[in-house]
Amino acid sequence: MLQVNNLTFQYKKQPILKDISFSVKTGEHFSIIGESGSGKSTLLKLLYGTYDLNEGNIFWKDNEILGPKHNLIIGPEYMKYVAQEFDLMPFITVAENIGAYLSNFYPEEKQARTNELLEVVELQAYAHIKVKELSGGQKQRVAIARAIAKQPEVLLLDEPFSHIDNFKKQSLRRSLFKYLKEKKITCIVATHDKDDVLSFSDHMMVLHDAKIMIKGTPQQLYKNPEDKLIASFFGEFNVINGGIIYANQLKIVDTSNLKAVVKKSYYKGYYYLIEADLDGNNVFFEHKKVLKKGLPICLSIYNNL
Ligand code: ADP
Ligand code: MG
């Protein structure tokens, strides 16, 4: 398992990460979430041994992961890291990039393996296209395929689908996480997309103010978001009488104490997100139909989580 003990790190004077401790079991999928600038990418880079820690230590099984002071080559052999700014070789093809770390000794096996990886990231049709001719999202898929080519024990993914459009994102996400689970590859994902987490992560943690705000399963954090920051990660929410209430937990009823007036309806496909005024505060709730501006309504809170 991966074990991080009391890690503290600063680029300059200001600590970016303070006293961070967590562990990830072998084969587990673990998500690191937090606002932009909260240190997600820094933490992944530290797990990869890119920088020396100011305090603490990191172990994968019995091996300590050490920074550049102790290593000529950054990155342990059993680990692969797909950076937010993936760096590929632009002048060779997709297939050549993916096969770059595979041995040339068994050309048939190399070919078969490359094909398998092209399938995982759904790029079969692009095998012989030069990487410089690809879109950002396609490049990101090549970077992922290259990282898993030699089956690492641990895969670090930094916002792995951020450049990939919605048409492809859903199926690629399912295909990649299924593959990683089947191969029992431990996977740590930095993300700000709840869809990377809810269906696919065994555990998650939230970084805030250089610290771990909370750790848990996605279900635990979704059902009991102890802080507005956590709720905002999962979706639209309200604070009513001090409690965090998701937009889908508020429903219109005939009478109640929560009297509101409709301000605006936003079309969301199978529902409308309604913005209403409740005692001078904006509240949001989901409703099947569009509602007219100015309509008086009564709302009730449902504990449907
Ligand atoms: P996230 O990935 O959560 O958006 P980062 O880890 O990229 O956050 O950044 C965390 C903080 O560290 C930010 O304040 C950022 O400006 C700072 N930072 C990131 N990289 C460097 C660097 N190479 N040198 C100095 N400061 C950095
Ligand atoms: Mg980042």
**Residues with Cβ < 8 Å from 122, sequence gap 6 or more?**
141, 168, 171, 172, 175
Q: Which atom of ligand 1 is nearest to the CA of 11?
A: 25
pLDDT tens-digit profile of 234-261?
A: 999 999 999 999 999 999 999 999 999 9
CA nearest 56: which of 21, 32, 31? 21
Ligand 2: distance of its center to the CA of 104 in Å? 34
SS3 letters across the chain: CEEEEEEEEECCCCEEEEEEEEEECCCCEEEEECCCCCCHHHHHHHHCCCCCCCEEEEEECCEECCCCCCCCCCCCCCEEEECCCCCCCCCCEHHHHHHHHCCCCCHHHHHHHHHHHHHHCCCHHHCCCEHHHCCHHHHHHHHHHHHHCCCCCEEEEECCCCCCCHHHHHHHHHHHHHHHHHCCCEEEEEECCHHHHCCCCCEEEEEECCEEEEEECHHHHHHCCCCHHHHHHHCCEEEECCEEEEHHHEEEECCCCEEEEEEEEEECCCCEEEEEEECCEEEEEEECCCCCCCCEEEEEECCCC
Q: Averaged over 276-294, what is the pLDDT? A: 96
Q: Averaged over 146-159, what is the pLDDT? A: 95
Predicted confidence at residue 126, as pLDDT, reads 97
Ligand 1 pocket, residue 39 CB under 6 Å: yes
Q: Averaged over 74-94, what is the pLDDT? A: 91
Q: Averaged over 264-289, what is the pLDDT? A: 96
Predicted confidence at residue 101, as pLDDT, reads 83
Is pLDDT of 303 > 90? no
Predicted confidence at residue 166, as pLDDT, reads 85
Q: Averaged over 138-165, what is the pLDDT? A: 94
Q: What is the pTM of this model?
A: 0.93
- The pLDDT-based confidence of 305 (bands split at 50, 70, 90) is confident
Ligand 1 pocket, residue 41 CB under 6 Å: yes
Ligand 1: distance of its center to the CA of 37 in Å? 6
pLDDT tens-digit profile of 39-52?
A: 999 999 999 999 99
Ligand 1 pocket, residue 260 CB under 6 Å: no
- The pLDDT-based confidence of 154 (bands split at 50, 70, 90) is very high
Pocket probe for ligand 1: among 42, 156, 212, the residue whose CB has the most ligand atoms within 8 Å is 42
Ligand 1: distance of its center to the CA of 208 in Å? 13
Q: List the residue whose alpha carbon is closest to atom 25 of ligand 1.
A: 11
Predicted confidence at residue 23, as pLDDT, reads 98
Which stretch of 12-21, 58-67, 101-110 has the lowest confidence by average pLDDT? Answer: 101-110
Q: Decide: 220 and 230 in contact? Cβ < 8 Å.
A: no
- pLDDT top residue among 165 and 54: 54
Q: Averaged over 102-115, what is the pLDDT? A: 92
